[in-house]
Amino acid sequence: MIGEPNEQNNELIFQDALHALRRGDKARAKELLTLILKSDQNNPIYWIWLSAAVDSKKERIYCLQTALQLDPENVTAKRGLILMGALAPDDSIQPFPMHHARGWEEKLLLANEKPKVRTSILKNPILRLAGITLIGLGLCTYVFFGLILPRQNNIERTQTPTPGPSPTFTATPTLVGATAIPTRMSGGPTPLWAYLPQTYTPTPLYVITPRSPASIDQYRIAVDAYEKGDWDAFILNMELIRPLEPDSADIPYYIGEAYRFKGEANAAIRYYDDALDIDDKFAPAYLGLARANIMRSPNYNAESLFNDALEFDPFYGEAYLERARFYLRRGDIKDALEDLEKAQEYLPGSSEVYLTLADAYLADEDIDRALTYAEEAYALDITNLSTYKLLSDLYIQTKDYPRALDALQLYTNYALEDATAFAKLGMILYRMGDYEQALRALDRAVDLNPNGVRDYYIYRGLSNVELGNGAEAIDDFIIAVEEDDRNYEARIGYARANYLDKKFGTAFLQIEVAIDLAETDEENALAYYWLAKIQEQRGDIAEAIEAWEALLDMDEDAMTPEMRTEAETQLDILVPPTRTPKSGAPTSTPTVGNSTSTPSSLTPTRTPTRTPSPTPTP
């Protein structure tokens, strides 16, 4: 349903009505004034102008009487009613002013009554030239002595840079190298268009149909609303054009587009059908139907509609692009790439084409090519939020966390309800060691969609562990283990959380599972380190010693220097050095429990079969 005109639209329509009156098109003016009076019946100005647009005297009197009722002091309404005999003459009403001169009055003046003409020196051309010359000289003197000379004393000599090698810039644009935006004092994020050296023009209309003289002004208002994204105003003005151009298929099509942009798929479909009723070979309407049906039902099979659009317009780049996206959703990468090749040909320089190419190569697990196309899309249009989201995913895949952080921070400034984006932001901040900020981002994600980000609870737990908040981390690790009980990071984090909460028995159970899941030397070293610390707290000194010894038996590169130093220190405490015996006395080695009677069972013997990513894939 069409929205009511607002004040801004009323003013535009009112100006249109005045233009129509000046052209003598009273019928058009009457139509427009009647339209705005539906939303603002208490405006006397509209009623007065409507009286000029109607044909019969009775209608004029009615309009002027209505205006006078709304504004009893309105002089224009009173004059009109008096002239038409509908109101008694009133001496207080001044007649219309006469702005033209009366030539005969001047002839009646006597000689002494006529104004005296004073001779001006400016009438002398020589004096005028001399005056202009003097003024010019004065201005030149002021400019030279008053402006130029004082500034020369303040000008610093430009420093000449020492010749040297030119700086090297990466050809591929990156978020890290983007131009910085000045600090803002107002609230809310800077609009993305503020990052641009020049403003992008909106997506042009598919076809520009020559409009009839009766609708050209209304169409101009509609196009202005389209470029501003004011869909209600656009729909309103296009509806006014429909009766004037009943055979134009593009009018209902564009109304359908506006409803689609508003998210109203059913209304959009109705208008696309209206366009096809007028012209069943109008390609954009088939594309619109495909888009709207997919919006209404994501699993809708729109292939036949895409095919119809391309049958009637084989050079329709947007149809190739949308069909490629459709193929990608159903996993048909080969056909998608073929359509994207056509889309590149017919939509040169389109960031959406490059972005979809990046999606296609990401689906094909070709990360390098996906990243190349995503960065190209970013270079073409830095206002597209989808580009930042895809770039962040690709940078996470390549473990380029600083760039992933830049992309996600900008994206989440605008996509305030995207829980997964905030969860990924928290994961990146954890990887970069900013645990407090990681907690803030992950808390936001959980608040938005607690069940939709269960794969990321592990990072909130790990961040709490790093901050020493064991009790807060335990609940997160319970969920993380439920999601993936074979996740090494979740198990060792769960053990550490219980260790911090002094629940050493539960910590021991979790670290045993972590040892079984460890596949690299680094993972084994970390597991033995925490096993030793946990067993010390449980009082099982023998197994603690075995764990410390197993850790020291490993390569130094598998652990941090601090871990190795702590292992050596703890062994010195738990296993005192052997005393030097007296001459002839047998050497005895003190033992703690049975730790030296059997070889250590904790020495790693497995050869890792794969090197897992430090970032578990959610």
**Among 37-41, 127-131, 370-374, whose mean pLDDT is lowest?**
127-131
Q: Give the pLDDT of residue 110.
A: 55
**Residue, of 35 and 605, whose pLDDT is higher:** 35
For residue 101, pLDDT over 60 is answered with: no
| Count of beta carbons in the 10 Å neighbourhood of residue 605 | 4
Q: Give the pLDDT of residue 81.
A: 82
**pLDDT grade for 6, boundaries at 50, 70 and 90:** low
Q: Give the pLDDT of residue 474.
A: 95
**pLDDT grade for 137, boundaries at 50, 70 and 90:** confident
Q: Which residues contact 47 (CB under 8 A, 6 or more apart)?
A: 37, 63, 64, 66, 67, 70, 77
- Angstrom distance (rounded) from CA 528 to CA 535: 10
**Residue, of 559 and 86, whose pLDDT is higher:** 559
**Residue, of 219 and 305, whose pLDDT is higher:** 305
- Angstrom distance (rounded) from CA 386 to CA 18: 45
Q: Give the pLDDT of residue 121.
A: 52
Q: Give the pLDDT of residue 153.
A: 44
- Angstrom distance (rounded) from CA 218 to CA 254: 14
**Residue, of 1 and 68, whose pLDDT is higher:** 68
- Angstrom distance (rounded) from CA 545 to CA 533: 10
**Among 124-133, 289-298, 346-355, 497-506, whose mean pLDDT is lowest?**
124-133
**Residue, of 8 and 172, whose pLDDT is higher:** 8
How do the domains of the chain map onto residue ranges? 320-410, 457-574
Q: Give the pLDDT of residue 614.
A: 37
Task: Output the CATH code of domain 457-574.
Answer: 1.25.40.10
Evaluate whether 432 touches 401 at the Cβ level (below 8 Å). Answer: yes
For residue 489, pLDDT over 90 is answered with: yes
**pLDDT grade for 601, boundaries at 50, 70 and 90:** very low
- Angstrom distance (rounded) from CA 403 to CA 351: 20
**Which residues in 64-91 are b (16+ Cβ under 10 Å) and which e?**
bbbbbebbeebebbbbbbbeeebbeeee
Q: Which residues contact 578 (CB under 8 A, 6 or more apart)?
A: 587, 588, 589, 590
**Among 121-135, 260-274, 347-361, 492-506, whose mean pLDDT is lowest?**
121-135
Q: Do domains 320-410 and 457-574 have the same CATH topology?
A: yes
- Sign of the Cα pseudo-torsion (217, 220, 225, 226, in order): positive
Nearest to 595 by CA among 518, 507, 532, 534: 532
For residue 188, pLDDT over 60 is answered with: no
Task: Output the CATH code of domain 320-410.
Answer: 1.25.40.10
**Residue, of 99 and 375, whose pLDDT is higher:** 375
pLDDT digits (tens, 9 = 90+) for 320-378: 999 999 999 999 999 999 999 999 999 998 999 999 999 999 999 999 999 999 999 99
pLDDT digits (tens, 9 = 90+) for 260-315: 999 999 999 999 999 999 999 999 999 999 999 999 999 999 999 999 999 999 99
pTM comes to: 0.61
Q: What percent of the chain has pLDDT over 70?
A: 74
| Count of beta carbons in the 10 Å neighbourhood of residue 201 | 7
Mean pLDDT of the chain: 80
- Angstrom distance (rounded) from CA 577 to CA 496: 31
CB-based burial label for 509 (10 Å; 0-12, 13-18, 19+):
middle
- Angstrom distance (rounded) from CA 318 to CA 347: 8
Distance set, CA 255 to CA 7, 33, 212 (Å) = 21, 23, 18
The overall longest dimension of the chain from CA atoms, in Å, is 158
Q: Give the pLDDT of residue 611.
A: 34
